[in-house]
Amino acid sequence: MNNTDNRPYAGLNVLDMSQGVAGPTCAVLLGHQGANVIKIEPPTGDWIRYIGGGQEGMSALAISGNIGKRSICVDAAKSAGRDLILKMAERADVFVQNFRPGVMKKLGLDYAAMAAVNPRLIYLSITGFGDSGPDANKAATDSVLQAVSGMIVANRTAEGVPQRIGMLVPDNVSALYAVHCVGAALYTRDRRDGTGQGKHLEVSLAECCAAVQAAPIIDDFLFAGQYQPPLTVPAGVFPTRDGHMVIGTVQPAMWEGLCRALEREDWLTEPRYATSALRGQCAAEINAAVATIMRKRDTSDWCVLFTQNDVLFAPVQTYAELRDDPQMKHMGYFAEIDQAPYGKLPLPHYPGTERTGQLPAAPHFGQHSREILAEFGYGTEDIAAMERDKLVIQAA
């Protein structure tokens, strides 16, 4: 432990046996707050390493989901591999896994087995749909969860066609809920009740996707089969002469400012537009008129006018433009990592962590196998024997 590390989870030991995105990202968040995170991978490595391209098993998802971890490659299907992981669990505070229900019990690495060697362990199980029921063993990918949870419908086009949100929302939302649950369990174990007892936490992607959509789910119940007024009019993405912008009017003053910026002060005296509710009834008409006006100027021109009139707006930016955004640079929201085999890569800091400008790299699978085994008391000959038996793999 680094005695100068003042981060809240400094000294906390985390074993991350999860694969994909939700579990690994949860463990990354713990690591960014100071935890020592060891990733346990199978002989073939985490399957996410080979999704979406990349070199040497270092896909973008593998990098972002494993920043700052150390990796050991263990064949948990072998009894000696199970015993090794149980020995590592004796020192762990948190264990993260996201296999389908029953897999960890079959391996002899379920909560009961681990609690027997370490009663203080916080054991996190992340599943797709829960640990029982008709869909318990169903494969749970991002697109599947977006479809089942209604996200695809919420993101439908203007023509009403459901479409997937173009990023891994279910996995990342679940990681955030999961790390919250882990933090609460650690607090209970170490401070509130003083028992020092661990706990089995169970989090599913399905429940997380439902929870994050609480307001639209209530809306769907309140307005089922009825007209549902828009939150604000005008609102949406509008094309400019050279790009696109988002506009909103959540307060009367913003509507007034928008009318002035668009040089349509006559709308301020139009009886049909007098209130937000009335504008909601004319949403298509107002949005179409705004779109026509917006096409007449460049995005930069509208930025000036909207700023002068205190309009709620934002230019639609690419990720490259986001990295170069003056506000992002001023706040130091982006760091970089020296990531093999690519060199320097940009990466956002996680909220609530120190903005050092430099973050630790993600490991190749099995990169730290020998180092980790030595820390758990295994000698050179023992480690060599494990490697000969294919029980453990050390990356070249």
- What does the pLDDT look like over 269-298, one tens digit per residue? 999 999 999 999 999 999 999 999 999 999
Write the pLDDT tens digit of every residue in 69-115: 999 999 999 999 999 999 999 999 999 999 999 999 999 999 999 99
Average pLDDT on 149-158 reads: 92
Q: Is 89 a member of any domain?
A: yes
Is 201 in the same domain as 242? no
Pair 138, 278 in one domain? no
In which band, very low, low, confident or very high, does the pLDDT at 341 lie, cut at 50, 70 and 90?
very high
* Residue 5 belongs to a domain: no
Domain boundary among 286, 318, 350: 318
How far CA 5 is from CA of 1, 257, 337, 350, in Å, comes to: 8, 49, 20, 17
pLDDT at 56 over 70: yes
Q: Based on the domain organization, do 46 and 156 belong to the same domain?
A: yes
Domain that holds residue 243: 236-318
The enclosing domain of 246 has a CATH number of 3.30.1540.10
Q: Read off the CATH number of the domain in which 364 is found.
A: 3.40.50.10540
The alpha-carbon radius of gyration of the chain (Å, integer) is 26
> Do 119 and 265 have their domain in common?
no
224 within domain boundaries: no
Task: Please report the pLDDT score of residue 225 as a whole number.
Answer: 75
pLDDT tier at 191 (50, 70, 90 boundaries)? confident
Q: What are phi and psi for residue 122, nearest 5 degrees? A: -95, 115
Examine the fold and report which residue of 255, 288, 318 is the final residue of a domain before the chain moves on. Answer: 318
Q: Using CA atoms in the order 147, 41, 10, 197, what is the torsion angle rounded to 10 degrees?
A: 80
In angstroms, the Cα distances linking 38 to 45, 69, 92, 256, 299 are: 14, 6, 10, 55, 47
What would the pLDDT profile of 127-143 be if each residue is shown by its tens digit?
Answer: 999 999 999 999 999 99
Q: Is residue 206 part of a domain?
A: yes
229 assigned to some structural domain: no
pLDDT (0 to 100) of residue 193 = 61
Instruction: Report whether pLDDT(347) > 70.
Output: yes
Task: Give Cβ neighbours of residue 303 (< 8 Å, ≥ 6 apart).
Answer: 313, 315
187 and 61 within one domain: yes
Tell me, yes or no, whether 52 and 118 share the same domain.
yes
* Interatomic CA distance for residues 321 and 83, integer angstroms: 49
Residue 46 shares a structural domain with residue 81: yes
Per-residue pLDDT, 355: 86
The answer to whether residue 221 sits within a structural domain is no
208 lies in the same domain as 126: yes
Quick one: 117 and 196 in the same domain?
A: yes
Q: Which residue, 318, 343, 373, sits at the end of a domain?
A: 318
Residues 319/325/330/332 CA torsion (nearest 10 deg) = 10
Work out the percent of the chain whose per-residue pLDDT is above 90.
89
Residues 6+ apart with CB under 8 A from 47: 19, 20
Identify whether residues 165 and 254 lie together within a single domain: no
User: Rounded to the nearest 10 degrees, what angle do helices 169-187 and 22-32 cross at?
Assistant: 50
Number of domains in the chain: 2
Model-level pTM? Answer: 0.92
Residue 52 predicted with pLDDT over 80:
yes
Split at pLDDT 50, 70, 90, the class of 352 is confident
Residue among 10, 120, 73 at smallest CA distance from 392: 73
Q: How confident is the model at residue 357 (pLDDT cuts 50, 70, 90)?
A: confident
Residues 277 and 168 both lie in one domain = no
> What does the pLDDT read at residue 396?
77
* In-domain check, residue 189: yes
Q: Tell whether 98 is covered by a domain.
A: yes
The answer to whether residues 340 and 258 belong to one domain is no
CA distances to 160, 219, 279 from 226, rounded to whole Å, are 16, 11, 18
User: Mean pLDDT, to the nearest integer, of 225-230?
Assistant: 75
Mean pLDDT computed over every residue of the chain: 94
Confidence band for 46, pLDDT divided at 50, 70 and 90: very high
